[in-house]
Amino acid sequence: MSSDSIKSILQEHRTFEASAAFKQRAHIGSQDQLQAMHAHAEQDPIGFWEEQARELSWGSKWDTPMQWNYPTVEWFVGGTLNASVNCLDVHVATEKRNKAALVWESEEGDVRTWTYQQLLADVNRFANVLLDQGIKKGDVVGIYMGMIPEAVMAMLACARIGATHNVVFGAFSAEALRERMDNSGAVCLITQDGARRRGSVQRLKAVADEALAHLPNIHTVLVAKNVGNDIVMSRGRDHWLHELMAAAPMKHDVQLFDSEHPLFILYTSGSTGKPKGILHTTGGYMTQVKYTSKYVFDLRDDDLYFCTADIGWITGHSYIVYGLLANGASVLMYEGAPNYPEKDRFWDIIERHQATVFYTAPTAIRAFMSWGEAWPRKHDLSSLRLLGTVGEPINPEAWMWYYDVIGRNKCPIVDTWWQTETGSIMIAPMPGVTTMKPGTATQPLPGIMADVVNKDGSPCKPNEGGYLVVKHPWPSMLRTVFGDEKRYRDTYWSHFEPCDKHDGYYFTGDGARKDSDGCFWIMGRVDDVVNVSGHRLGTAEIESALVSHAEVSEAAVVARPDEIKGNALVAFVIVNANVPTARKAELPALLREHVAAEIGPIAKPDEIRITDALPKTRSGKIMRRLLREIAGGGEVTGDTTTLEDHNVLENLR
């Protein structure tokens, strides 16, 4: 093992297969079929992606399928298309015209449905409003909204006129919004009066006003009416969206754009540093989100797909809006909190709407676990046929709970590995055929050349931990960091530059190992790797061992400098709500032994701190960077604009 490699200590041997009934109806129902796709993609990767691209509606066809000039890529060069046409018009032209595109439930329980035809009409009106306000192709439009249908319409309306959207999560602060608008040069902002969250109202327009005071280049603000709370309108700049839409025509002569036309900028959650504006373009992105949605979620015409992610991050972009609508699917969208009015809201929604596919994050699953299984057990979840997770490694305990308590032992789970930067899913099971193992995203999809390598780029041996890389450009790859090409090169392309051994690899920032079946086990971000007595350990495995203890619901592990050992391991642990105070005093010692027993004494934390909350990004990622500083006794420095709750830091100190 080379000294740079990351040592793996997690052992998990349970395996699961899709049922015969699931296999029989799946798009990919046999190993032969999957192997044939892999073979095609390996022999002719570009031809393989062209085949997927032909699933979209194009104006003129591309003349060059891919142009690669390390590290700059273009896909389907010379082709023209419109992303919103591919989400709407193509279905309105078929028998899907009157099928539900969007089923929306407010936190108060109101349900509204848009058919494809109705959604197209509203997107057309919205596009006409934008044009009327002087927004044109190439302009950047900010979207600062909650989970309401107008957010989906806003994205599609921007795409329709060739404006580049920049969605900022609706609960970010005024400063975070200002920075992202300023950095991207936005000229228009779409927001709403207020959003409902856990029974209270988040005053989005009021927060936006604080940011707008410092954004002189934003000449137009469109406000969707959702809650009806009082807001201040700035004359000339601010307009009620519903008023303008009511007056706008529902027909719109749509233009097609170059395949490489910028579709959106999305700032990454920034768990490791200052947010980066990830730029995605049109043809390649649409190709891969359509392909992955169809196969990974095994979409069928009668599905009702429910994704709990927010529209403010990439999962919402790719797997609420573009990928699902491009396939003509019915998408269920919920405005509010999972625990409002009670902790069974998601299960209640699934039962009432008869949702068939459910996609959520491990952090949410661990919260459901800590609330107790009585909540989901109260509901008939038999409509579900497929479950998915994304966002971080799912610890095997949480996987098993999800499989049993939510999936009732009959739904395959697709553990999907990808990033804001990759745009679409890269590593995931094909649910009809891939053998599932709790805790691994399994294998790269056909067309994706991912691998685990040593620092010198040579492939790691089975079960040897190393760096997760992608060896060939893929269509939905980020094109740059907006306004910072150097950061694009430094972050993703400087670790494995072209050399005599290889042509240069994309570096994901993640540590991983491949087992002897070729399954990828993600071990966490390499920036978070802890060095213990000369062994480099990924945080994910130690955290997984901690949460496998019955009384623990969340854990984060970091290293702090130690005079004797070089590094000491510090674990921040949240225990279940029902653990009595007296018991909390006993737990640290017990948990240290538990980790030693689960994965070995080497990973035994030196210190365990029981805490009430962990610093997380809004998308649920633990900000270990901040915990490292706290564990080391230092001040928290660096960017904290993506932090969900600043009180957490105070309490930890």
Amino acid at 154: A
What is the C-alpha separation between 645 and 651, in angstroms, rounded? 11
Instruction: Tell me which H or E stretch contains 509.
Output: strand 506-514
Stretch that binds ligand WT7, among 102-110, 156-164, 416-424, 544-552 (CB under 6 A): 416-424
String of contacts with ligand WT7 for each residue 300-339, x by CB under 6 A? --------------xx------------------------
Give the Cα separation of 432 and 144 in Å (integer).
38
Nearer residue to ligand WT7 within complex by CB, 29 or 393: 393
Spatial CB neighbours of 534, under 8 Å, sequence gap ≥ 6: none
Burial of 633 (0-12, 13-18, 19+ CB in 10 A): exposed
Residue 390 sits in the site that holds ligand WT7 (CB under 6 A): yes
> Is residue 191 within the footprint of ligand WT7 (CB under 6 A)?
no
Q: Which stretch binds ligand WT7 (CB under 6 A): 17-25, 73-81, 192-200, 414-422?
A: 414-422
In the complex, minimum distance from the CB of residue 499 to ligand WT7, in angstroms, rounded to a whole number: 24
Considering only residues 45 through 64, tell me which ones interact with ligand WT7, judged by CB under 6 A: none
Residue number with CB closer to ligand WT7 (273 or 588):
273
CB nearer to ligand WT7: give 360 or 420: 420
Q: Stretches 180-188, 239-247, 503-511, 602-610: which one binds ligand WT7 (CB under 6 A)?
A: 503-511
Range 23-31, long-range pairs (CB < 8 A, 24+ positions): 23/432, 23/433, 25/300, 26/298, 26/430, 26/431, 26/432, 26/433, 27/294, 27/295, 27/298, 27/299, 27/432, 28/295, 28/298, 28/430, 28/432, 28/433, 29/432, 29/433, 30/433, 31/433
Q: Tokens 């979207």 label which residue?
A: 143
Q: With respect to ligand WT7, which residue has the nearer C-beta, 432 or 524?
A: 524
If the CB atoms of residues 116 and 297 are measured against ligand WT7, the closer one turns out to be 297
Longest dimension (CA), the chain: 73
Per-residue binder mask for ligand WT7 (CB under 6 A), 524-553, x = binder: -x----------------------------
Q: In this complex, which beta carbon is closest to ligand WT7, that of residue 147 or of residue 610?
A: 147
Burial of 340 (0-12, 13-18, 19+ CB in 10 A): middle
Strands in 304-307's sheet, in edge-to-edge order, are: 111-115, 100-105, 330-334, 304-307, 357-360, 386-390, 413-416
Residue type, 301: D
With respect to ligand WT7, which residue has the nearer C-beta, 241 or 519? 519
Per CB under 6 A, the segment of 6-14, 195-203, 346-354, 413-421 that binds ligand WT7 is 413-421
- Residues 209-248, mask of contacts with ligand WT7 (x by CB under 6 A): ----------------------------------------
Binding residue for ligand WT7 (CB under 6 A) from 113, 229, 370, 419?
Answer: 419
Q: Which of 194, 511 has the CB closer to ligand WT7? A: 511
The closest of 178, 176, 116, 170 to 147, measured between CA atoms, is 170
Angle (nearest 5°) at CA 170 between 168 and 176: 55
* Interatomic CA distance for residues 396 and 14, integer angstroms: 9
For 555, residues 6+ apart whose C-beta sits below 8 A from its C-beta are 542, 543, 546, 547, 571, 572, 573, 574
Q: How far is the CB of 65 from ligand WT7 (least distance, A)?
A: 26
Closest listed residue to residue 268, CA positions, set 397, 378, 136, 167: 167
Please, what sign has the CA dihedral across residues 287, 305, 279, 68?
A: negative
Rounded distance between C-alpha atoms, residue 433 and residue 507, angstroms = 29
- Give min distance, CB of 595 to ligand WT7, in A: 20
Count CB-CB contacts under 10 A for residue 89. 17
Q: Which of residues 593-632 bind ligand WT7 (CB under 6 A)?
A: 619
Q: Which of 102, 522, 622, 652 is the binder for ligand WT7 (CB under 6 A)? A: 522
Contact residues for 398 (Cβ-Cβ < 8 A; gap 6+): 362, 365, 366, 369, 547
Q: List the one residue out of 427, 513, 510 whose CA is nearest residue 463.
A: 513
| From 277, 328, 393, 431, residue interacting with ligand WT7 (rule: CB under 6 A) | 393
Total of chain residues touching ligand WT7, rule CB under 6 A? 21
Nearer to ligand WT7, 159 or 413 (CB): 413
How far apart are alpha carbons 518 and 277 in whole angstroms? 33
Q: Which stretch binds ligand WT7 (CB under 6 A): 77-85, 114-122, 412-420, 594-602?
A: 412-420
Are residues 383 and 348 in contact, defined by beta-carbon separation less than 8 angstroms? no
* Minimum CB distance to ligand WT7 smaller for 464 or for 528: 528
- Whichever of 313 and 334 has its CB closer to ligand WT7, that residue is 313
Cβ proximity to ligand WT7: between 441 and 652 the closer is: 441
Closest-CA residue to 104 (of 297, 411, 311):
311
579 CB-contact burial (10 Å; exposed 0-12 / middle 13-18 / buried 19+): middle
How far is the C-alpha of 205 from the C-alpha of 230, rounded, in Å? 9
Rg (CA), the chain: 24
CB atoms within 10 A of CB 458: 12
Torsion of CA 450, 454, 459, 463, to 10 degrees: -90
Task: Map residues 340-359 to x or -, x wherever contact with ligand WT7 holds by CB under 6 A.
Answer: --------------------
Looking at residue 293, its amino acid is S
**Range in contact with ligand WT7 (rule: CB under 6 A) among 79-87, 248-256, 281-289, 508-516:** 508-516
**Beta-ladder partners of 520:** 442, 514
Question: Which lies closer to ligand WT7 via its Cβ, residue 262 or residue 524?
Answer: 524
Is 510 a binder of ligand WT7 (CB under 6 A)?
A: yes
- Torsion, CA 248, CA 250, CA 251, CA 254, rounded to 10: 80
Among 76, 264, 418, 482, binds ligand WT7 (CB under 6 A): 418
Q: By rule CB under 6 A, what string of x and - marks binding of each residue 268-307 to ligand WT7?
A: xx--------------------------------------
Binding span for ligand WT7 by CB under 6 A among 7-15, 246-254, 387-395, 575-583: 387-395
- Contacts to ligand WT7 from residues 441-500, by CB under 6 A: 441
Nearest-approach distance from CB 436 to ligand WT7, in angstroms: 13
In whole angstroms, how close is the CB of 533 to ligand WT7 at the nearest point?
A: 25
Which residue, 314 or 325, has its beta carbon nearer to ligand WT7?
Answer: 314
Stretch that binds ligand WT7, among 63-71, 116-124, 368-376, 386-394 (CB under 6 A): 386-394
Q: How far is the CB of 474 from ligand WT7 (least distance, A)?
A: 14
CB of 271 to ligand WT7, least distance (A): 7
Minimum separation from the CB atom of position 379 to ligand WT7 (A):
26
Q: Give the binding site for ligand WT7 (CB under 6 A).
A: 268-269, 314-315, 390-393, 415-420, 441, 508-510, 522, 525, 619
